[in-house]
Amino acid sequence: MTTAITDKEFALFQRFIYDAAGITMSPSKKALVMSRLSKRLDLRKLPTFAEYFKVLSSGQDAQEVQLAIDLLTTNETYFFREPKHFDLLREQAEQARGRGQPFRVWSAACSTGEEPYSIAMVLAATLQTTPFEILGSDISSRVLERARTGHYPVSRTVHTPKAYLQQFCLRGTGAQEGTVLVDRPLRDKVRFMQVNLNTTLPKIGPFDFVFLRNVMIYFSADTKRQVVERVLSTLKPGGYLLIGHSETLNDLNASAAAVAPSIYRKPC
C-alpha cells in the first residue's frame, strides 16, 4: 500500500503540473494528488511519490507523463452548465441562421464532453440548415477518449431541456439503464483534439464563440494573461469569449470588452 505523500513530494507535483499545463495547485489539493496517483505507484510497485516523480522526470516514459497529467487535470462537469451562456449562444445562432459561412465554436477545456455536446444541441436545434462546426479540446487524452463515446450517467443531464434529450439522446435500457448516449448524428458534429492552452495553439480558428470556462482559476496571473491572449487570437472580430462565473479578465489588459458577468466580446 502506498505511503502518504509528504509536503516535499507534493511540492514536486505542484511544479510538475505547473510546468506541464500552467496549473497552480493549492495546498488543499494535496489529498487529491495522493488519491489520484496512488494507483500508479501501486501498479509500478514504487514505494514513494518521490520515486514516481523520478519516473516522470526521467524523460523516458512519455505515456506515463501523459497519464499523470490526465489524472491531475480531470474535473467533473455536466450538460448545460451556466445556462445564460447557452441563452446567448442561441440568440447569436438565430441571428446567424441562413448565412453561408459555418458557425464555429470552440470548447477550450471540454473535459469529458458535456459542454461541446450541449453546444451542439443548441446549434443543431437553432441553425437548422446553416452549417456549424464545434471543436472540443482538453489537455487530457483520457477525458477526450470518454468524450468521443458520448455516453454519460443520467445525472449529468438534469439541466438539459427535455426537448433536447428527446431529440438528441438515447436513454439506456437493461445493462445501460441510468445512462444516456448522445446520438451518432450529433456526435459527428463535434471534433475533439488534444490542446495544451499553456503552449502555442495549433491553427484552429477563427471562431464565433469560445467557451473557456472554469479553467483559468487554476492558472497563475501570468499564465492566465498568456492563455487569454492566445485564445482571443482565435476569435473572429465581434466574437464572444465565455468564462466561468467565478472568473474575470480584470487586470489582464485583454482586447475584449465585458458584455455581462463572465461574457466578453472581441471588438469588431
For 109-168, write each residue's pLDDT tens digit: 999 999 999 999 999 999 989 999 999 999 998 899 999 999 999 999 999 999 999 999
Q: If you average pLDDT over residues 228-239, what whole number do you get? A: 96
pLDDT at position 77: 86
pLDDT category at 3 given cuts 50, 70, 90 is: confident
Q: Is the pLDDT of residue 1 over 80?
A: no
Helix (H, G, I), strand (E, B) or coil at 174: helix
Percent of the chain with pLDDT over 70: 98
**What CATH number belongs to 7-73?**
1.10.155.10
Q: Which residues contact 157 (CB under 8 A, 6 or more apart)?
A: 78, 79, 165, 169, 180
Tell whether the torsion through CA atoms of 119, 124, 127 and 133 is positive or negative: positive
pLDDT-derived band at 245, boundaries 50, 70, 90? confident
Residue ranges, CATH 1.10.155.10, the chain: 7-73
- CATH number for 83-265 (one of 3.40.50.150, 3.40.50.360, 3.40.50.1970, 3.40.50.2300): it is 3.40.50.150
Please give the Cα distance from 152 to 218 (Å, whole number): 26
| pLDDT band (50, 70, 90) for residue 253 | low
Asked if 127 and 96 count as a contact pair (C-beta separation under 8 A), the reply is yes
Task: Please tell me the least confidently modeled range out of 14-23, 98-107, 174-183, 207-216.
Answer: 14-23
* Greatest distance between any 2 Cα atoms in the chain: 62
DSSP category for residue 247: -
- Which part of the chain has CATH 3.40.50.150? 83-265
* φ, ψ dihedrals at 196, nearest 5°: -100, 110
Q: Is the Cβ–Cβ distance between 73 and 32 less than 8 Å?
A: no
Residue 202 has pLDDT above 80, yes or no: yes
Residues involved in catalysis: 36, 138
